[in-house]
Structure 1
Amino acid sequence: MGRREDYRGAIAGLADEALEAYLDERSGLPGPRANLELADAVADVVDAATAYRLAGSDHEFVRLCGVSALGAVAAREDGAAREEAVERLHDEARDDRWRVREAVAIALQRIGDVDPALLRAVVGAWLADDDPLVLRAALAGVCEPRLLRDPETAALALDTCERATDRLCRYSPFARRSPRVRAMRQTLGYCWSVAVAADPDHGLERFGRLNSSSDPDVRWVDRENRRKQRMRRLL
């Protein structure tokens, strides 16, 4: 938390080009891991206008910071401003860059930290979307252990896993080879274990149905989740 506090202090006095340069220099990229503490600090302090500006950047880490900050914007605003931020997150969920998509999940989790009911409303709406990347964002956003201490959110996480798995089964073999569907499948490969661990009384039975599926991708999802330590403890 100390570094995050230091970052907040450092970026509070920066504007426009100076802020973007600061973010670029400390992004951690290229490298295996982006500087998410810095991204969190950005979301803590920037206003809505700055969040939108950063989210429009061509620089991947700067864009990541802006997109994750839109979660904070949605959490603190209401009315049209909130709807605009959520709609922008919906658009960013379909980005081809995985770090931008991960920023959408982080943004949803920030919403859930402040307003669990809003998170549930957003995830519920996104479940009706046909785009597998939007489904992937809903999964990754809601299947976060700290958010699933709330029983209603934990129940939604199980519903989200189940509905996304059902959707996976309905894709044609050709569609399943697309990067978009594969990204959703990868997310299902760990989200079931998170959701079941939060509510094993209801989750184990629902997860157990995957084991009897003849669908090869569902069997893969089942196998990957069984390998997770949190699931192994339950099974």
Structure 2
Amino acid sequence: MSVREEHRAALRALDGDPAAVCAYLTARSGLPGPRANLELIGAFADVATEGLVLALADSPDEYLRCCGTVGLGRLVVDVPADARTELVALLSDRAAEGSWRVREAVAMALQRIGDAEPTTLGALVASWVGDQDPLVRRAAVAGICEPRLLRTPATATTALDVCAAATASIGALPSDARRDTGVRALRQALGYCWSVAVAGDPAAGLPRLAALRSSDDPDVAWIVRENEKKTRLRRLLDPPDVPSG
């Protein structure tokens, strides 16, 4: 039995008792510390009741809020399409939070949606990348730029389109607006997400990234440089020599 499976079994044994579940999560959160317990977050999102997911998504405790936020991704795919509006709006709210851990939980929730319904994720991130809040745009980028999701041509294309739109959104900003913490977080995400998107479809992605090299925008230039440092992209830019004969 894996660690995640052990957590799922333990959480099921608590029979949805909110106080007991919260105590279990808090005791094993890994916080305070350098790394939160992501396996436990995933286990909670797998088995928690809808009511508990929604309650924890609004918890003042950061770790519990992460648990609930990831669980929202499961709820989105568990309900009919016409009943998802409020859940998606809550995810968008969490994407704009000050807590970076909660923002990462949003990306994990989006990836759950993508695992189950790639088309739904594609439509969602295409909408979010046009949002006025740069942190929501960041969530769109971070959510879809996950290697396991980019195995279909449609999703790989969407990832490239989202990266391009988010990069253009930074390029359109005046210099003073770029000091905003949300814009900086978006730029940071683009500093690695382009490499993930390009690796998902190198034939289409390499020319799109190459086109950005001619930009004289300092933030766009930084994004390109950061991605070109990534091993996954260096392998594509400088493939190993193949011996002849």
Q: TM-score, normalised by structure 2?
A: 0.94
**Residue 24 of structure 2: aligned partner:** 22
State the alpha-carbon separation in 2 of the partners of residues 110 and 29 from structure 1: 24
Alignment-derived partner of residue 7 in structure 1: 7
Q: 1:126 aligns with which of 119, 125, 128?
A: 128
Equivalents in 1 of 2:137, 2:13: separation in Å?
A: 37
Counterpart secondary structure, 1:149: coil
Matched ranges for 1:1-235 at <5 A: 2-14=2-14, 15-235=17-237
The aligned amino acid for 1:3 is: V
Contact 2:187 2:223 in 1 (8 A): yes
Deviations 1:104-159 (A, max 9, x none): 00000000000111101111111221110000000000000000001101000000
Structure 1, gaps ≥5 residues long: none
Tell me if the contact between 1:195 and 1:203 (Cα under 8 Å) persists in the aligned partners.
Answer: yes
Query: Hey, what's the Cα distance between the residues in 1 that align with 2:49 and 2:154?
Result: 30
Moved more, 2-11 or 168-177: 168-177
Q: Percent same amino acid at aligned positions?
A: 55
For normalisation by structure 1, the TM-score amounts to: 0.98
Compute the displacement of 1:175 (Å). Answer: 1.3
CA distance in 1, matches of 2:118, 2:211: 28
CA shift at 1:80, angstroms? Answer: 4.3
Contact residue 47 and residue 73 of structure 1 kept, 8 A? no
Q: C-alpha separation between the residues in 1 aligned to 2:83 and 2:12?
A: 23
CA distance in 2, matches of 1:26, 1:81: 33
Q: Over aligned residue pairs, what C-alpha RMSD do you find?
A: 1.0
Which aligned runs of 4 or more in structure 1 are off by greater than 3 angstroms?
A: none
Q: Which moved more, 1:135-144 or 1:8-17?
A: 8-17
Alignment correspondent of 2:240: none
Question: What amino acid maps onto 1:54 in structure 2?
Answer: L
Deviation digits for residues 78-99 of structure 1 (CA, Å, limit 9, x no counterpart): 1443222111101111000000
How many angstroms does 1:13 deviate by?
2.8
Provide structure 2 residue ranges, at least 5 long, that are not aligned to the other structure.
238-245
Cα distance in 2, alignment partners of residues 168 and 82 from structure 1: 30
